[in-house]
A and B are shown apart, each in its own frame.
Chain A
Amino acid sequence: MRNLISINELSKTYTGGFQALKDINLNIRDGEILALLGPNGAGKTTLISIICGIITPSAGSVYVDGYNIIKDFRITRSKIGLVPQELTTDSFESIWNTVTFSRGLFGKPSNPAHIEKVLKELSLWDKKDNKVMELSGGMKRRLLIAKALSHEPKILFLDEPTAGVDVKLRQDMWQLVGDLRKSGVTIILTTHYIEEAEEIADRVGVINKGEIVVVEEKTELMRKLGKKQLTLELFKKLEAIPKHLSPFNLELAREGSQLIYTYDTQAERTGITTLLGELHDASIKFKDLSTTQSSLEDIFVALVKDEQ
């Protein structure tokens, strides 16, 4: 898959001296969904604001579809749609007018059929003549998406798209993102909801303190950094782990009634068979066992913690 956006050595230092981005290098592939994860203030919004033209970079370059975002800003910006984090809308305008305005602003001739299609897809058609101020928070979020899609962009940036929305709307949003990807739109979303990235992203980038910590295929990331745990429910409580089991780095939990073994999924041998054999020899019996895999959230927390 070819790279649609290339970010090279990108840095941003604000007037006050705060360095929001430090030498960011990142390639975003055509047609993918990339989730940028990071705690508040990590630099996610600064990064997408630079690509969209809202913030001027201090150093480095960004290319969109081979075009420089500063020199060829007309071409790059016309390919991008942005849904901002804040619900910033023209309260006194009608839904139809504000979406039509967005299309014109991005240099596209009037196309009522397209606006109608977008509004219908986002369940806003019935409200097209209402003023923006009459919409609920969730509807305003959908309106911002409609505005961003009004000029048929090739790339869509969603900055915290599900912040403060209910479960139903969040699922609708994920459905919409999936549909857009199918139609060939490349999607970059920033979020701090791990389950969002886990659910819909192809790749995950973790950004912390202005630096990219890791960018990896979601499944690969989970495979590489994910750990599995085997939990054994013991018949009899143990006061301490027998010395000959120390190479397994076992953990005693729930007042000695649970034995936890953490192992690497990528290792050639997980050591489970040997452990079970050793337990049998030591007459340590168990009534149940279960395995769990670390979620993207665990990986994210570990990565950010390591950085700190």
Chain B
Amino acid sequence: MNLYAIKAIYKFEMSRTMRTLFQSVVSPVISTSLYFVVFGSAIGSRISEIEGISYGSFIVPGLIMLSLITQSLANASFGIYFPKFTGTIYELLSAPVSFIEIIMGYVGASATKSILLGLIILATAELFVPIRIAHPYWMMLFLVLTALTFSLFGFIIGIWADNFEKLQIIPLLIVTPLVFLGGSFYSISMLPPLWQKINLFNPVLYLISGFRWSFYEISDVSITLSLSMIMIFLGLCLATVWWIFKTGYQVKQ
């Protein structure tokens, strides 16, 4: 195992975060605060409690997940796409590193950044609404697994993309709608029956449901199902990444 390489990639990616601190951290925190102002106070004050939880508090896990998923995708996809775009990927390909080490460096850095961001948003939310975390270890587990899974997914998008448009298309057209549909701002029991059934095919639903359960012990699906779904998605992403490196898809000729 080339630990020095993992450390080098990790540090390099983290220093990129520090260089783009405003874009990476401050911007999501500001937009999340705006969500609290708009949804939590302005609209939320007119919405009754959901299963005994005020609307403002109810949306906190969903908002954290929204940022966690979108930031994990953005960090990891850009992290690997940029060397491809500038041509510096030659160094990565000619270095004595295996695909596992490359993944550990890039995905590790992306997940770290997203988790830190999630915790910052959690701290920000504390300023607006009362929050109770019933199962902190489960909350951290969901946070870490979601950040890792979507960082891996972002890595795959970064490898697949051969232009900036492709880099944006999946996060914007598929993932963000899935996050909104997955119950970030509501319980799916509030949806019409048909949409409830459609939503069961939405993987993000299971993540948000499990994450919300770790806070308030209320969920749309069982915690076991939530955990199983995220593990399946993680496994699928790992298998895809393994295939990418084995075949050299979009990386090696």
Of all A-B residue pairs in the complex, the 4 with the closest CB atoms, nearest first, are A104-B8, A88-B87, A77-B96, A74-B96
B86 touching A89 by the CB < 8 A rule?
A: yes
Cβ contact of A54, chosen from B2, B5, B9, B94, cutoff 8 A: B94
B1-22 near A? 1/0 per residue, CB < 8 Å: 0101101110110011001000
- Pairs A–B under 8 Å by Cβ, sample size 25: A52-B93, A53-B93, A56-B253, A73-B96, A74-B2, A74-B98, A75-B96, A82-B91, A82-B94, A84-B87, A86-B87, A88-B88, A88-B90, A89-B88, A101-B8, A101-B12, A103-B8, A104-B7, A104-B8, A105-B4, A105-B9, A105-B95, A105-B97, A107-B4, A147-B91
What residues of chain B lie closer than 8 Å to A14, measured between beta carbons?
Answer: 253
Q: For B8, give the chain A residue with the smallest CB separation.
A: A104
Stretch at the interface among A90-98, A190-198, A258-266: A90-98
Asked if B93 and A54 make an inter-chain contact with CB atoms under 8 angstroms apart, the answer reads: yes
Q: How far is the CA of A74 from the CA of B98 in the complex (A)?
A: 8
Whole-angstrom CA separation of A80 from B50 in the bound complex? 62
Give the dominant DSSP class at B's interface: helix
A106 at the B interface (CB under 8 A)? yes
Residues from chain B with a CB closer than 8 A to the CB of A97 are: 12, 15
Chain B hits for A92, CB < 8 A: 16, 19
Q: Are A55 and B253 in contact (CB under 8 A)?
A: yes
A108 within 8 A of B: yes
A contact residues vs B (CB 8 Å cutoff): 14-15, 52-56, 73-78, 80, 82, 84, 86, 88-93, 97, 100-109, 147
Whether A56 lies near B2 (C-beta < 8 A) is no
Check: B248 CB closer than 8 A to any chain A CB: yes
For B92, list chain A residues within 8 Å (CB): 105
Measured in the bound complex, the distance between the Cα atoms of B93 and A52 in whole Å is 8
Q: How large is the interface on B (under 10, 10 to 19, 20 to 34, 35 or more residues)?
A: 20 to 34
Q: Which A residues are in CB contact (< 8 Å) with B12?
A: 93, 97, 101
Residues of B within 8 A of A53 (CB): 93-94
A82-B94, A88-B86 given; 8 more Cβ-contact pairs under 8 Å:
A53-B93, A80-B94, A82-B90, A88-B87, A91-B86, A103-B8, A105-B95, A106-B96
Q: Nearest Cβ distance between residue A92 and chain B, in whole angstroms?
A: 6
> Which among A54, A101, A107 is the interface contact of B90 at CB below 8 angstroms?
A54
CA gap between A36 and B168 in the complex, in Å: 42
Complex interface: chain B residues within 8 A of A77 (CB): 94-96
Residues facing A in B212-253 (CB within 8 A) are 248, 252-253
Most buried by A among B19, B91, B92: B91
Q: A78-B96, A80-B94, A101-B12 are in contact. Are A109 and B86 (CB under 8 A)?
A: no
> In the assembled complex, which residues on chain A have CB atoms less than 8 Å from the CB atom of B91?
82, 102, 105, 147
> In the bound complex, how far is the Cα of B16 from the Cα of A97, in angstroms?
11
Which residues in window 96-125 of B have CB below 8 A to A? 96-98
Q: Once the chains bind, are B94 and A52 in contact (CB under 8 Å)?
A: yes
Q: Cβ of A15: which chain B residues have Cβ within 8 Å of it?
A: 253
CB proximity of A299 to chain B, nearest CB, Å: 32
CB contacts (< 8 Å) of A80 on chain B: these are 94
How far is B95's CA from A56's CA once the two chains are assembled, in angstroms? 14
Roughly how many angstroms separate A106 CA and B2 CA in the complex, as a whole number? Answer: 8
Tell whether A55 pairs with B2 under 8 Å between CB atoms, given A88-B90, A89-B88, A106-B96: no
Contact between A54 and B4, CB atoms less than 8 A apart: no
- Inter-chain CA distance A278–B98, complex, in Å, is 73
